[in-house]
Amino acid sequence: MKQRAYQQVDVFTDTAFLGNPLAVVLDGSGLTDAQMQTFAAWTQLSETTFVLPPTTEGATGGADYRVRIFTPGAELPFAGHPTLGTAHAWLKAGNTPRQAGVLIQECGVGLVTLKQLGERWAFAAPPLKRSDISAEDLAPVLAALGLDESEVIAAQNLNNGPHWLGLLVDSVDTVLALEPDHAALKKLGTKVGVAAKRQTPEGGLIRRANREARAFAPSTRIVNDPTDLEVRAFAAPVGIAEDPVTGSLNASLAQWLMADGHMPDHYSARQGTVLGRAGQVFLSKDAQGQVWVGGDVVGCIQGAVTL
C-alpha cells in the first residue's frame, strides 16, 4: 500500500454538490482488479476511476492516459461523467496533453477524444449500436417502472459500451413521478434511461440556457428551467438505484433522438432533479455527424489515499 494522489470532483455542474461526484485515483499502477473494485465499493459513489499509463497500443494511437472505471458493483468499459471528471482531475494535477485543447483517453471501448469547446470540455460519443425492443421484452420493464405503454413515445436498446434501454415518454411530469421497483429492474438485469422533452407554454423546445435560472424551486423543479430534455437513469444491476447525471446515457440518447428527429442537433439535458441535483449536459452534433457531450466540472476534494 502507498499514498496515491486523489481527487473528488463534481461533474456536469458549475456549482459544487449539484452534479454527479466522482472519485479519481491519479496513480492506479500496481493495483489489482480486486483492490480497485473494493475501493470503488467503499467510496459508494456511482463511479471511481483509476488513472494508468497508456498501453503500447494506446500510446501509438495518441492516448494521453488510460483510465479504468468502476461502479460499486462492476467495472465499466466506458462512462461519460468519469471521462469528463478524470480529464479535469488529470489536468488539475499539472499534466499536459500532447495536443493543446485535445485529450485522448484510453478506456475499455478504446480511444475516446475530448476537446475544449468554449468554456467546457466535451467528449466524442463512442459509436452507438441500437435496436428495437420487442413488446414482450418491454412489458416487464414498464411494469417495474410503473409506466403504461400509452405513455411511451419510443423505445430503443442503446449500447455505446454500457447497455441502456432508452425510453422517450410523453411528459416531464411522467419522468419525475416515476418510483421504480429497483429490485425488479435488478432481477431483469436492465439499466433504463427515461427521458421527456421539455415544452415552453407555446409548445416549443426551450433552447436558451442561462446560469441564473438554475436555482431550485421549493419542490423538485428548477425555476424557469432552461434545458430541453429531462432525464433519469436507473441502474440497479450495477449497484446504483438512480444515477445523478449520466454521460454515457445522455450520449446514446442524443445519438438516437437526433437521428430519429425527436431532438435537434444542439440541445441541453437536465438530470438529477428528483435527487436534489441540477446536472446539466450539453449535446451537439458537428458537421461530420459526431455527437459531442459536454459539461462543467468542479473540484471538491484534493489529497491522497492509501491504497
Catalytic site residues? Answer: 47
Kind of pairing, strands 65-70 and 102-107?
parallel
Element (H, E) at 166: strand 163-169
Q: Distances from the Cα of 67 to the Cαs of 51, 74, 94, 288, in angstroms?
A: 5, 15, 17, 27
- Residue 80 to residue 299: CA distance in whole angstroms: 17
- Residue 10 to residue 167: CA distance in whole angstroms: 26
Q: Where are the alpha helices (DSSP H) in the chain?
A: 33-43, 56-60, 80-92, 135-145, 172-177, 182-188, 247-259
SS3 call for 226 = coil
Beta bridge partners of 197: 229
Contact between residue 64 and residue 105 where contact means Cβ atoms under 8 Å apart: yes
Beta bridge partners of 234: 192
- Residue 185 to residue 137: CA distance in whole angstroms: 12
With CA atoms as reference, report the closest residue to 87 among 159, 26, 43, 36: 26
Q: Tell me phi and psi for residue 281, to 5 degrees.
A: -120, 135
Angle at 266 between CA 89 and CA 83, to 5 degrees: 20
Write down the residue that cell numbers 434501454 correspond to. 165
SS3 call for 255 = helix
